[in-house]
Amino acid sequence: MTATAPNPVDELDRRRRFRMRRVRLPRAWRRPLAVIGLVVVAFWVLVVIFGPLIAPYDPIAQDSARYLPPSAEHLFGTDGVGRDVFSRVVSGARISLPVAVGLVALSLAIGSTVGAIAGYAGGVVDGVLMRIVDLFFSFPAIVLAMAVSAALGPSLLNAVAAIVVVSWPAYARVTRSLVLGLRDANYIQASRLLGASAGRALLRDIAPNVIGPILVVATLELGNAILLLSGLSFLGLGAVPPTPEWGAMVADGARAFYNYWVALFPGLAIFSVVLAFNFIGDALRDALDPRTERAVGNVEV
Amino acid sequence: MLMFVLRRLGASLLLVLGTTIVAFLLTSVLPGDALTARLGERAAANAELVAKLRAELGLDRPIWEQFFIYLGGLVRGDLGLSLQSNRPVTEDLAQFGPASAELALMATVIALVVGGGLGIVAALRNNTWIDNVLRAFSLGGVSVPLFWFALVATSIFSTTLRWFPSSGRLDAGVAAPPHVTGFFTIDALLAGDLPLFGQAFEHLILPALVLSAPMVGLLMRFTRASVLDVVGQEYVRAAEAKGLAPRTVVFGHVLRGALVPVITIVGTAFASLLAGTVLVEQIFAWPGIGSYAYRSATTLDLSAIVGVTIFVALVYIVVNFVTDVLYGAIDPRIRRA
Amino acid sequence: MKSSTRIGGLVALATGVALVAVGCSAPAEESPDSPDTLVIDKSFDLVTADPARMFETTGGIVLHAVYDSLLTFADGNAEEPLPSVAESWEVNDDATVYTFNLRDGIVFSDGSPLTSDDVVFSLDRVKNIQGNGSFLMAGLSVEAPDEDTVVITSEAPNTAVPAILTSATLGIVNKDVVEENGGTDAEDAIDTDTAEEYLNSASAGSGPYTIESFDTTTEVVLVANPEYWGEAPEYDRVVIRNATAETQLQDIQSGTAHVALDLGSDQLGALEGNDEIITSTSSSPTIFFLFANANVDVSDVTATDDFREAMKYGLDRDALLELAGDGASVAYGIIPNTYLGALGEDAAVERDVDRASAAVARLGGDVTVSLEYPNDISVAGINFGPVAERIAAQLAEVGITVELAPGPVATTLENYRNGTEEMGLWLWNPDYPDSADYLAFGPGEIVGLRAGWAEGSDPALESVMDQVSTETDAATRETLYQDFQKLENEASVIVPLFQPAATVVATTAVGQVDFDPVFQLDIAAIGK
Residue C498 has pLDDT above 80, yes or no: yes
pLDDT, averaged across chain A: 78
Residue A27 has pLDDT above 90, yes or no: no
pLDDT in tens, C273-313: 888 899 998 888 999 999 999 999 999 999 999 999 999 99
Question: How many Cα atoms sit within 13 Å of C12 on the Cβ side?
Answer: 6
Say what the ipTM of the complex is.
0.82
pLDDT of residue A116: 87
Q: Where are the domains of chain A?
A: 46-57+75-300
**Chain C hits for B202, Cβ within 8 Å:** 21, 24-25
Burial class of B50 by CB neighbour count within 10 A (0 to 12, 13 to 18, 19+): middle
Give the pLDDT mean for B153-168: 83
CB contact under 8 A, B275 and A141: yes
pLDDT of residue C227: 92
CB contact under 8 A, B171 and C47: no
pLDDT band at C260 (very low <50, low <70, confident <90, very high): very high
pLDDT of residue B95: 87
CB contact under 8 A, C24 and B201: yes
The full DSSP string for C417-436 is: HHT--SEEEEEE--SSSSGG
> DSSP assignment, residue C83?
E
pLDDT of residue B123: 84
CB contact under 8 A, A241 and C385: yes
% chain A with pLDDT above 70: 77
Give the pLDDT mean for A207-221: 81
pLDDT in tens, C387-423: 999 999 999 999 999 999 998 887 788 888 889 999 9
> DSSP assignment, residue C137?
G
A88 closest CA partner among A125, A64, A60? A60
pLDDT, averaged across chain C: 88
Query: At the topology level of CATH, where does A46-57+75-300 sit?
Result: MetI-like fold (1.10.3720)
Q: Cα B199 to chain center, whole Å?
A: 22
Interface test with A, best of B26, B143, B260, B279 (most A CBs within 10 A): B143
Give the pLDDT mean for A279-285: 85
Residue B57 has pLDDT above 90, yes or no: no
Sign of the CA dihedral A29, A35, A40, A43? positive
Nearest CA in chain C to B49: C130
CB contact under 8 A, C23 and B198: yes
In contact, B122 and B130? CB cutoff 8 Å: yes
- Which of these ranges, B80-84, B147-151, B207-211, C329-333, has the smallest mean pLDDT? B80-84
In this complex, is the C-beta atom of A65 within 8 Å of any C-beta atom belonging to chain C?
no
3-state secondary structure of B142: helix
Residue A30 has pLDDT above 80, yes or no: no
B146 closest CA partner among B18, B30, B279, B46? B279
CB contact under 8 A, A247 and B294: no
3-state secondary structure of B161: coil
Give the pLDDT mean for B161-189: 82
User: Out of B14, B151, B265, whose CB is closest to A297?
Assistant: B265
CB contact under 8 A, B320 and A237: no
pLDDT in tens, C414-426: 888 889 999 999 9
Residue B76 has pLDDT above 70, yes or no: yes
pLDDT of residue A292: 42
Distance from CA of A256 to the nearest CA of C (A): 5
Domains detected in chain C: 2-242+503-525 (3.40.190.10), 287-499 (3.10.105.10)
pLDDT in tens, C425-474: 999 989 888 999 999 999 999 999 999 999 999 999 999 999 998 888 88
B135 CB neighbour count, 10 Å cutoff = 23
% chain B with pLDDT above 70: 79
In this complex, is the C-beta atom of A19 within 8 Å of any C-beta atom belonging to chain B?
no
Residue A61 has pLDDT above 50, yes or no: yes
What whole-number distance in Å separates Cα of residue C16 and Cα of residue C219?
Answer: 32
Residue A16 has pLDDT above 80, yes or no: no
pLDDT of residue C459: 93
pLDDT in tens, B262-312: 777 777 677 668 778 888 998 888 889 888 888 888 777 878 888 887 787
Residue B335 has pLDDT above 50, yes or no: no
Give the pLDDT mean for A60-66: 84
In this complex, is the C-beta atom of A152 within 8 Å of any C-beta atom belonging to chain B?
yes
> DSSP assignment, residue A84?
B
pLDDT of residue C259: 94
pLDDT of residue A275: 94
pLDDT of residue A296: 40
Name which residue leads in pLDDT, B240 or C315: C315
In this complex, is the C-beta atom of A58 within 8 Å of any C-beta atom belonging to chain C?
no
A207 CB neighbour count, 10 Å cutoff = 16
Name which residue leads in pLDDT, A136 or C488: C488
Name which residue leads in pLDDT, B81 or B244: B81
Domains detected in chain B: 34-78 (no CATH), 89-336 (1.10.3720.10)
Name which residue leads in pLDDT, C15 or C276: C276
User: Out of C7, C56, C251, whose CB is closest to B251?
Assistant: C7
Distance from CA of A136 to the nearest CA of B (A): 9
Residue C15 has pLDDT above 60, yes or no: no
Residue A107 has pLDDT above 80, yes or no: yes
B101 closest CA partner among B21, B194, B19, B211? B211
Name which residue leads in pLDDT, C168 or A61: C168
